[in-house]
Amino acid sequence: MGCGTSGQAAPSRTSGSVLASAPVSRNSALDLPDEELLLPPQADAQPPPAVAHSVVLVGMPGAGKTAIGKRLAARLGLPFRDADAEIEAAAGMPITEIFARYGEPHFRDGERRVITRLLAGPPLVLATGGGAFADAATRAAIKASGARTLWLRCSIATLLRRVAGREHRPMFLNADPAEVLQRLMTARHPFYAEADLTVTCTDESPEVTTRRVQDALDAVVPPRRLPVGLGDRSYDVVVGPGLLSRAGGLIGPVLPARRVVVITDSAVAPLHLPALRAGLEAAGIAILAEVAVPPGEASKDFSRLQEVLEQMLGAGVDRRTAVVALGGGVVGDLAGFAAAVAMRGLPFVQVPTTLLAQVDSSVGGKTGVNLKAGKNLAGAFHQPRIVLADTDTLATLPLRELRAGYAEVAKHGLLEGALWDWCETHGAAAVAGEADALTHAVLESCRLKASVVVADEREESAEGGRALLNLGHTFGHALEAEAGFDGTLLHGEAVAVGLGLAASLSARLGHCSQEWPSRVIGHLAAVGLPARIADLPRRFTIDALMGRMAKDKKNRDGQMRFVLMRGAGDCFTSSEVPAEAVTALLRDEGATG
């Protein structure tokens, strides 16, 4: 099995331009005129396609792209094409000769145009030359076509057995095949890792490998990409299952260099760090250090920040080294702040593993640590290069953590409107861990968060804007700070109570009907969240909570600001909230003093 052998075709006109030569494989090409890129006439019509997308096979010479591709095409009812054979047919000469006469740069240009032309037509299975997907422009063209890309990954031992007897090929002339293959693997594997799927090939029969390839295609759930449009700081939020194992291929294209420091916590590390590590290494991304902090809000302080920075700098980071945050909101905030201040700013990647982080804290660029005076009072806006929300990680969350994350989904529902209706109908399924419900919750929350961040990135709008995302948080942050961030009250639990208080305050001030506090509190309680101060395991005094809220970072000119609601989808910010109305509400809801 190989990646295609040279075919012969009737001679046709070739370009006479002078091209630079370079010692590469036969997968090189020349700049062919447009008429020579036309596909040769096909035989009888193919059966109706069984899939909606083309499938592009990538991999090393000897990976079996042609052998597997032909069998896969037959199974899927699609035509099969070999990009190398198409180029040779158009040029009227073997690729070895094309390559020798015209050189690699023009070859890659012609190869790219052939592949683009093939993928612009009806769905097919396409085997590419070993160097095609390693070419940035060709790789971009393949991705832009919407085709599914699949890397046939083989060990060097398997490849050596398969290429035995091919020593006449240019890449192997007067060279050790093992050294040649190793060099090519080192250069190309980081780019192959950007494929949508990877199937590891062994010495099993082509039929068995083809069956595994088809099974992988049938099972794939393509991730969703939500853009956060911030000009030259724009990035994507990628949502879907299995992203940790593909992390390197997803992260690599947005990094200035293929080296990172991973910051996580000691609870998340044993669960998800091995998969992330493997995903990064598959794309040739070096991990300079892995820093694990204790789990919990207590790690978000200056002493822990200094420890993280010292470890990062001790590992030899430079300004092109990226910081990868693997974990929940605490890790994301801490790692993001470390990235913002280390060397005055390092690239940053969010890999959130909790529901709360996936739906809220990982998107938008807010980073920071807590002070004794309150939550997140020291920090910076530092946007990530990409956010990978692997929904598979949510299956490892304890129920309490899942519920806490859902509080932010409910908040987004109240801000958006239609999402609140979904919450009332499907929220229980999400909290129960139902995969489709959780995926919907993450997607729609990120969609809302992205739109708000784009409109008001630094929370500078006079009214509304990004401040609306703090619905329930003025109360919630005060409760968290007063609890001392000791783990007895999770952020999402505090937000849930805060949502109930915000709805009740809105009703007391005449902004919404009395129906809304009942609906909000009733729904949160139904999914297992605390919804009133009296539901919490400890007591709070009115004076202490009012003191905390007086130091909230959203306050202006010494006046407390609250996010209030007229109904789901109709929220607003206001400083016109009498202190006595707040104290009365706190007393009625269970605060003492």
Residues flagged as binding site for ATP: 62-67, 169
What does the pLDDT look like over 143-157, one tens digit per residue?
999 999 999 999 999
Q: Please give the pLDDT value at position 545.
A: 97
Residues flagged as binding site for NAD(+): 329-333, 353-354, 366, 375, 393-396
Residues flagged as binding site for substrate: 84, 108, 130, 188
Q: Which residues of the chain have pLDDT under 70?
A: 1-51, 165-170
User: Element (H or E) spanning 389, and its range?
Assistant: strand 386-390
What does the pLDDT look like over 25-66, one tens digit per residue?
333 333 333 333 333 444 444 444 456 899 999 999 999 999
Signed CA dihedral, 11, 17, 23, 25: sign only: negative
Residue 517, classed as helix, strand or coil, is helix
**Site of tokens 């160097």:** 131
Q: Check: CB of residue 517 under 8 Å from CB of residue 503.
A: yes
Signed CA dihedral, 533, 539, 545, 548: sign only: negative
Which residues does 93 contact at the CB level (< 8 Å), separation at least 6?
Answer: 11, 14, 101
Signed CA dihedral, 355, 359, 360, 363: sign only: positive
Q: Please give the pLDDT value at position 166.
A: 62
Q: Please give the pLDDT value at position 64.
A: 94
Q: Please give the pLDDT value at position 22.
A: 33
What is the DSSP code string of 398-459? Answer: -HHHHHHHHHHHHHHHHHHSHHHHHHHHHHHHHHTT-HHHHHHHHHHHHHHHHHHHHH-TTS
Tokens of 405: 């994350």
Q: Please give the pLDDT value at position 464.
A: 87
Q: What whole-number distance in Å separates Cα of residue 4 and Cα of residue 130?
A: 10
Q: What whole-number distance in Å separates Cα of residue 130 and Cα of residue 172?
A: 14
Q: What whole-number distance in Å separates Cα of residue 131 and Cα of residue 129?
A: 6
* 126 phi, psi to nearest 5 deg: -120, 125
What is the DSSP code string of 40-66? Answer: PPPSSPPPPPSSSS-EEEE--TTS-HH
Tokens of 322: 């990226």
List residues with catalytic annotation.
Answer: 344, 366, 408, 449, 459, 466, 470, 473, 477, 491
Crossing angle between the packed helical segments 491-508 and 515-526, to the nearest 10 degrees: 160
Q: Please give the pLDDT value at position 411.
A: 98
For residue 175, which amino acid is it? A
Q: Please give the pLDDT value at position 40.
A: 41
Residues flagged as binding site for Mg(2+): 66
Residues flagged as binding site for Zn(2+): 408, 473, 491
What does the pLDDT look like over 386-416, one tens digit per residue?
999 999 999 999 999 999 999 999 999 999 9
Q: Check: CB of residue 227 under 8 Å from CB of residue 234.
A: yes
Q: What whole-number distance in Å separates Cα of residue 151 and Cα of residue 191?
A: 10
Q: Please give the pLDDT value at position 73.
A: 97
* 343 phi, psi to nearest 5 deg: 50, 30
Crossing angle between the packed helical segments 515-526 and 399-416, to the nearest 10 degrees: 150
Rounded to two decimals, the pTM is: 0.87
Q: What is the DSSP letter of 182?
A: H
Tokens of 486: 């000791």
Q: What whole-number distance in Å separates Cα of residue 335 and Cα of residue 369?
A: 10
What is the DSSP code string of 197-220? Answer: EEEEE-SS-HHHHHHHHHHHHHH-
Q: What whole-number distance in Å separates Cα of residue 71 and Cα of residue 433?
A: 39
Residues flagged as binding site: 62-67, 84, 108, 130, 169, 188, 329-333, 353-354, 366, 375, 393-396, 408, 473, 491
